[in-house]
C-alpha cells in the first residue's frame, strides 16, 4: 500500500505527527502494536502520577493530627487505586484514538519492521502488510531494562509497568535503582504501607543532580521510612521459603542478603529497535540501540526521521512532543527548527517534588564561567510553613557577569511549578534581580523568589 507518510509508533510525537500530516491532506498510516498514546499515557506519566496522588492522600491522612484533624488510620485498597488508574488511562487513550480517527489517519495494528528503503512490513492478525512512503517517522519508544543478574529467572519480578497492576500492598518491596522511576515508586509504595528498600549502585541517588540536592533527597527518603543503600548492587537472586525473594547484594567489597516479598527493577530503559530491522533501510543505530539523528531529527536514511525516546537523550514526554513540533514546523510549515539549545525541564514526582531546568552547579562551574549560587531552605518559605510542608531546598545558578539565571533545582512543595516560573524567566533572558525585586502576591510560593535571590553563597 502506498502512503505519503508512515509513522511507526503512536507515542507523544507519533500520534500528533500522524494527525498533523493527515489534516494537511497527506495520506498517512500510523502503525501501533500495542496502545495509542505511547509510554506516557499507558505505562508512564499518566498512570504513575495518578497513583502518586493516591499515595499522597494516604500520607496526608496519616499526618492529619499535625493539622489538628483527628481521623482513623488509612486503609489502602490497592484494587480501587488500580481501578482509578485504569479509568484515567482509558480516558486519555480513547481521546487520542478519537483525534486520530477524526483526522483521517489509517491506524494499522501490528508489529512493524523495515523490509527495504522506505518500505515497512507490518505483521498483523490478518497477515503481513507491506507499506511504502517517501517519509517515515519512527516513534517506537523504549521499555524497562531487565538487569543481567544470576538467578533472576528463578524469582518473580516487577518492572515499572507490572508493579502498577498489583492488587495488594507488598510486604517488603526491594527497588533496584535510585533514579526517577525507582524513587517515585519507592516512596509511593512506602506511603501505601509497604516496607521499602532502595538499592543504588552509585554514590548518590539521582546521579545527574548536584550532590547537595541528592543528599537532601536521601534524607527525605529516610525520613519517610525508606531504607537507602548506596554503592550497592544485586549479585544474585533466589527463591526463599514462604514465597520470599532472597537477594544477595555487594557493597564495598562485602556481601549480605536481603529477603523481601517483591522486587522492582527500575534501572534504565532499552530502546525498541531490536525488531525494527533498521539496517534494511540503511538506518544507523548506536551501541546502546538508539537511532542516530541530527539536530533536525533526520536519520542516516533519506526521508526517515526518529522522534522521542528511541533516539536517545532526555526521555521525557515534553521532549517527544517538542520533537513533533520541530518536524511539523520544518516539514509542514517551511520552518528551520532544530533541537539545538532547547531547554530540558523536568519534574521528579517524589514528595516534595524536584523541579529542574538548565545547568546544575557542577555543570556551570565546569564551563569555566563566573558563577553565583543562591540557595535557601524551604523552611524559609512562608507558604510552605503554613502548609506544614517545609522539607527541601531551592537552588539557582546565576551567571556572575550577566546576572542571568543558568539553571535551578527546586526541591519542595509544588517544586515543578516553582521551577517552571524560573524557566519562564530564563526563556525571557531576565536577570535574577527582576525576580529578587518583583512584587509577588503574599502568601504564595512564587514570593520565595524575593528571598532566594537575596541568599547568594558567594
Buried b (16+ CB within 10 A) or exposed e, 357-379: bbbbbeebeeeeeebbbbbbbbe
* HSE-CB for 301 with a 13 A CA cutoff: 22
Buried b (16+ CB within 10 A) or exposed e, 35-50: bbbbbbbbbbbbbbeb
List 35, 262, 318, 442, catalytic entry: 442
- Calpha distance 315→161 (Å, rounded): 16
Length of the chain: 458
CA 293-297-299 angle, to 5 degrees, is 45
User: Does residue 442 carry a catalytic annotation?
Assistant: yes
Buried b (16+ CB within 10 A) or exposed e, 231-250: ebbbebbeeeeeebbbbbbe
- Calpha distance 428→283 (Å, rounded): 38
Dihedral sign for Cα 8, 11, 12, 17, please.
positive
Q: How far is CA 331 from CA 2, 325, 391, in A?
A: 19, 10, 47
Residues labelled catalytic = 442
Amino acid at each position: 500500500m502506498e502512503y505519503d507518510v508512515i509513522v511507526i509508533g503512536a507515542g507523544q510525537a507519533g500520534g500528533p505527527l500522524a494527525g498533523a500530516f493527515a489534516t494537511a491532506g497527506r495520506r498517512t498510516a500510523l502503525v501501533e502494536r500495542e496502545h495509542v498514546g505511547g509510554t506516557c499515557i499507558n505505562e508512564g506519566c499518566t498512570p504513575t502520577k495518578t497513583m502518586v496522588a493516591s499515595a499522597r492522600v494516604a500520607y496526608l491522612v496519616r499526618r492529619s493530627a499535625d493539622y489538628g484533624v483527628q481521623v482513623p488510620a488509612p486503609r489502602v485498597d490497592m484494587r480501587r487505586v488500580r481501578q482509578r488508574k485504569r479509568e484515567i488511562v482509558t480516558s486519555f487513550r480513547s481521546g487520542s484514538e478519537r483525534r486520530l480517527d477524526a483526522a483521517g489517519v489509517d491506524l494499522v495494528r501490528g508489529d512493524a519492521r523495515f523490509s527495504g528503503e522506505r518500505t515497512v512490513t507490518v505483521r498483523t492478525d490478518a497477515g503481513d502488510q507491506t507499506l511504502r512512503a517517501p517519509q517515515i517517522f519512527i516513534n517506537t519508544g523504549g521499555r524497562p531494562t531487565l538487569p543481567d543478574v544470576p538467578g533472576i529467572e528463578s524469582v518473580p519480578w516487577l518492572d515499572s509497568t507490572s508493579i502498577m497492576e498489583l492488587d495488594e500492598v507488598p510486604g517488603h518491596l526491594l527497588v533496584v535503582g535510585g533514579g526517577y522511576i525507582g524513587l517515585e515508586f519507592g516512596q509511593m509504595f512506602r506511603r501505601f504501607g509497604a516496607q521499602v528498600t532502595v538499592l543504588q549502585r552509585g554514590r548518590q541517588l539521582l546521579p545527574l543532580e548536584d550532590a547537595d540536592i541528592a543528599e537532601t533527597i536521601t534524607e527525605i527518603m529516610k525520613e519517610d521510612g525508606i531504607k537507602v543503600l548506596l554503592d550497592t548492587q544485586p549479585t544474585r537472586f533466589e527463591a526463599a521459603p514462604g514465597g520470599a525473594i532472597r537477594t544477595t547484594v555487594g557493597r564495598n567489597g562485602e556481601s549480605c542478603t536481603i529477603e523481601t516479598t517483591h522486587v522492582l527493577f527500575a534501572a534504565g530503559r532499552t530502546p525498541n529497535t531490536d525488531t525494527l530491522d533498521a539496517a534494511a533501510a540503511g538506518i544507523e543505530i548506536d551501541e546502546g540501540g538508539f537511532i542516530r539523528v541530527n539536530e533536525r531529527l533526520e536519520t542516516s536514511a533519506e526521508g526517515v526521521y526518529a522522534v522521542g525516546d528511541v533516539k536517545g537523550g532526555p526521555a521525557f514526554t515534553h521532549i517527544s512532543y517538542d520533537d513533533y513540533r520541530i518536524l511539523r514546523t520544518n516539514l509542514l510549515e517551511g520552518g528551520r527548527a532544530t533541537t539545538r539549545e532547547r531547554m530540558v525541564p523536568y519534574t521528579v514526582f517524589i514528595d516534595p517534588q524536584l523541579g529542574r531546568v538548565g545547568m546544575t552547579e557542577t555543570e556551570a562551574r565546569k564551563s569555566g564561567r563566573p558563577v553565583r549560587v543562591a540557595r535557601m531552605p524551604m523552611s524559609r518559605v512562608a507558604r510552605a510553613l503554613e502548609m506544614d510542608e517545609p522539607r527541601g531546598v531551592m537552588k539557582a545558578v546565576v551567571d556572575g557577569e550577566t546576572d542571568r539565571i543558568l539553571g535551578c533545582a527546586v526541591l519542595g512543595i509544588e517544586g515543578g511549578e516553582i521551577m517552571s516560573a524560573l524557566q519562564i524567566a530564563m526563556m525571557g533572558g531576565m536577570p535574577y534581580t527582576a525576580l529578587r525585586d518583583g512584587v509577588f502576591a503574599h502568601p504564595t510560593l512564587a514570593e520565595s523568589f524575593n528571598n532566594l535571590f537575596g541568599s547568594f553563597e558567594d
